[in-house]
Copies of this chain bind each other. A is one copy, B any other.
Amino acid sequence: MAQLIDGKAVAARVRAEVQADVERFKAARGLVPGLAVVRVGEDPASKIYVTGKKKAAEEVGFRSWEHHLREDISQEALLVRVRQLNEDPSVHGILVQLPLPKHIDAERIISAVSPEKDVDGFHPVNAGLLSLGQPGLRPCTPLGAMRLLEEAGCAPAGKRAVVVGRSNIVGKPMALMLLQADATVTVCHRKSDLPREVAQADILVVAVGVPELIQGEWLKPGAVVIDVGMNRKPDGKLVGDVAFQAASQRASAITPVPGGVGPMTIAMLMRNTLIAASGGV
């Protein structure tokens, strides 16, 4: 049976580390890190996420603000709000909760956030710094997945890592982080022969949003599996992108869903906000 990678426990540890660092930071700088979260409209999942982020921010000792804006806000008015936050010296991190309403150009809004305050790591400058291997703010979910690999005692160097999914938020930055950690990295997607690719993965990271797409029988015995998926089945049960039961028979370590990568995202967001408040990486 595979070792369970307990993301909840690791996330709690990261948050405790950040909390301790924040105390030192406040004492040394006489300054409280501030995180501003912008939420537009009434998406119920966004509301839950934002509440969780605000709560976590307060627990580690940040100031935090939620800017809740009307669904029908104009793009220009949203840009003005982002620019105000860019200029506000008490705000060190800015997060615009996605998705945004359809009449808003999300890329435009993300690009308007100052790269130094872009604690989501989604700004083109930060995406570029990651690709170039230069210091910058990194996306939180792949950062969290890297930390889970470390906690599982899995060093990527020289291993074959397979990333299923190529989103800007998880798949691509994950692949770049694994590459920087000296793994041989393959990125797969809907045109890939998944059983063949998965069978060669010493490290498998899946982020596609398709319930139990990856069959346990496909895995290389001993693989370390990071399942970023979080899907609700018709019966209400939460499952990942990997068929957990069968996978945990073959993997050496695997993240559960829920309780794996999920809690890490917020923890790494706290870490990023402290980095931004400290004046960069």
Contacts and interface: CB of A to CB of B under 8 A. Distances in A.
A166 B131 CA distance: 10
Interface in A109-151: 123-134, 136
Interface stretch (A38-46, A185-193, A207-215): A185-193
**Number of copies of this protein chain within its complex:** 2
B184 A191 contact: yes
A107 interface: yes
A157 interface: yes
A35 interface: no
A206 to B, nearest CB: 15
A89 to B, nearest CB: 24
A26 to B, nearest CB: 31
Contacts of A184: 186-189, 191-193, 197
A154 interface: no
A158 interface: yes
Interface string A245-261: 00000000000000000
Contacts of A183: 191
Interface residues of A, number: 35
Interface in A173-225: 173, 175-176, 179, 182-189, 191-193, 197
Contacts of A132: 107, 124, 127, 168, 172
A114 to B, nearest CB: 14
Contacts of A127: 127-129, 131-132
A185 B182 contact: no
Contacts of A134: 107, 124
Given A184-B187, A185-B187, A197-B184, A168 B124 contact: no
Given A127-B127, A172-B176, A184-B193, 13 more contacts: A107-B134, A124-B128, A124-B134, A126-B128, A127-B129, A128-B128, A179-B189, A182-B191, A183-B191, A184-B189, A184-B191, A184-B197, A186-B187
